[in-house]
């Protein structure tokens, strides 16, 4: 029986491909696969490149999101990967997979949602592609400009403090509600680009929380060859999630995905600089734990320091459901 993708898993398959691509350096490629975005030198500028897809039936189901909200979401999840490198998006390409029976109005509204949010944030839609397919899917390829410092996943060191922007768990809770047949409103993906550009001055490592905090911080730990300890009581749980889940809310919020907040680490010597930045960030920033030496594992502990057992660590596209 041939080995199937679901036996390997999304992240392991990507790791295998990255290893095959190897460290062969091509002129102009500053950072290849393995971070939130690639970094390439184009002329005199340092550009960030990323791509992400939303698929109907996988990332959302028909009727979960108003068309404009779906377009905005496609824009923001890609901007989030540029932000995670400390950069600012400038242009996007959109590849659409559509059924010929789709209502023109709906597709127009999706693209209006995309373009108006992109414009508002100084990002131009500069091209794309349309193809027929069995489901609606929207793939965005985004280009960004790097800040003075590109923040990678690999810069965390033992003793660094771990922070997260905003709050976690609202999207996970909303998806759970929808799957249970409730008409829960899906929250808007936050736009953290300004915060990320400011944080690039102090962060030693950064990632956006797309698949769940524990799993995404795990990527930072593997890239940095360190461990992380998260204090469950410090996780900024979204109020709706806290109300609905009570004592289990922190573990849920730390493993539910799609919050698109930033998780980043700051060395002790830069903590005063982070405090000076806080007012400019326009979002909450919460210290949730510490980077430690050791195997690249994320442990979540309760108020007495006892490890919590997590039923799952986050989302894997090829293993899920
Ligand atoms: Mg990411």
Q: Distance, CA 104 to ligand 1 centroid (Å)?
A: 31
pLDDT at 317: 61
191: its two tokens: 């736009």
pLDDT, tens digit, 9 for 90 and up, residues 14-54: 888 988 887 667 889 999 888 999 999 998 899 999 999 99
Q: For residues 62 and 60, what is the distance between their CA atoms, to the nearest angstrom?
A: 7
Mean pLDDT of 55-78: 91
DSSP 84: T
Q: Distance, CA 311 to ligand 1 centroid (Å)?
A: 23
pLDDT, tens digit, 9 for 90 and up, residues 206-234: 999 999 999 999 999 999 999 999 999 99
C-alpha 94: how far from chain center: 19
End-to-end CA separation in angstroms for the chain: 21
Residues shown for the chain: 321
Higher pLDDT, 182 or 274: 274
User: Angle, to 10 degrees, between the axis of helix 104-120 and the axis of helix 67-83?
Assistant: 40
pLDDT at 44: 86
Q: Distance, CA 79 to ligand 1 centroid (Å)?
A: 10
pLDDT at 320 over 60: no
pLDDT, tens digit, 9 for 90 and up, residues 79-137: 999 999 999 999 999 999 999 999 999 999 999 999 999 999 999 999 999 999 999 99
Q: Distance, CA 43 to ligand 1 centroid (Å)?
A: 26
Name residue, tokens 């209502």.
Answer: 103
Q: Distance, CA 105 to ligand 1 centroid (Å)?
A: 31
CA Rg value for the chain: 19
Of 152, 121, 122, 126, the residue nearest 141 (C-alpha) = 126
pLDDT at 190: 97
pLDDT at 250 over 50: yes
Of 285, 77, 262, the residue nearest 151 (C-alpha) = 262
pLDDT at 10: 86
pLDDT, tens digit, 9 for 90 and up, residues 127-178: 999 999 999 999 999 999 998 899 999 999 999 999 999 999 999 999 999 9
Q: For residues 92 and 232, what is the distance between their CA atoms, to the nearest angstrom?
A: 37
Say if CB 284 and CB 232 are below 8 A apart: no
Q: What is the dihedral of CA 26, 28, 34, 36, to 10 degrees?
A: -160
Q: Distance, CA 101 to ligand 1 centroid (Å)?
A: 33
Q: Distance, CA 221 to ligand 1 centroid (Å)?
A: 14
Mean pLDDT of 302-309: 88
Q: Distance, CA 207 to ligand 1 centroid (Å)?
A: 6
Q: For residues 242 and 120, what is the distance between their CA atoms, to the nearest angstrom?
A: 32
Q: From the CB of residue 20, how many other CB atoms can be counted at a distance below 10 Å? A: 7
pLDDT at 321: 43
């Amino acid at each position: 029986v041939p080995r199937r993708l679901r036996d390997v898993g999304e992240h392991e398959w990507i790791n295998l491909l990255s290893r095959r691509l190897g460290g062969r350096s091509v002129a102009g490629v500053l950072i290849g696969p393995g971070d939130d975005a690639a970094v390439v030198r184009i002329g005199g500028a340092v550009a960030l490149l990323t791509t992400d897809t939303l698929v109907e039936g996988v990332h959302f189901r028909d009727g979960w999101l108003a068309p404009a909200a779906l377009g905005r979401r496609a824009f923001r999840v890609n901007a989030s990967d540029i932000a995670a490198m400390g950069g600012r998006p400038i242009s996007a390409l959109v590849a659409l997979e559509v059924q010929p029976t789709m209502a023109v109005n709906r597709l127009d509204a999706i693209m209006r949602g995309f373009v108006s949010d992109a414009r508002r944030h100084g990002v131009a839609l500069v091209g794309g592609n349309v193809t027929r397919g069995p489901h609606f899917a929207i793939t965005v390829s985004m280009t960004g400009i790097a800040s003075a410092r590109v923040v990678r996943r690999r810069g965390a060191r033992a003793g660094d403090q771990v922070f997260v922007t905003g709050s976690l768990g609202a999207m996970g809770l909303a998806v759970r509600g929808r799957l249970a047949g409730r008409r829960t409103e899906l929250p808007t993906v936050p736009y953290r680009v300004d915060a990320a550009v400011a944080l690039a001055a102090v962060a030693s490592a950064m990632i956006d929380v797309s698949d769940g905090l524990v799993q995404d911080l795990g990527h930072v730990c593997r890239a940095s060859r360190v461990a992380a300890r998260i204090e469950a009581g410090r996780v900024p749980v979204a109020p709706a999630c806290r109300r609905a889940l009570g004592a289990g809310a922190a573990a849920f919020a730390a493993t539910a995905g799609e919050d698109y907040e930033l998780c980043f680490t700051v060395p002790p010597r830069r903590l005063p600089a982070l405090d000076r930045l806080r007012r400019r960030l326009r979002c909450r920033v919460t210290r949730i734990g510490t980077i430690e030496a050791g195997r690249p594992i994320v442990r979540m502990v309760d108020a007495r320091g006892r490890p919590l057992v997590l039923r799952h660590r986050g989302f894997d596209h090829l293993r899920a459901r």
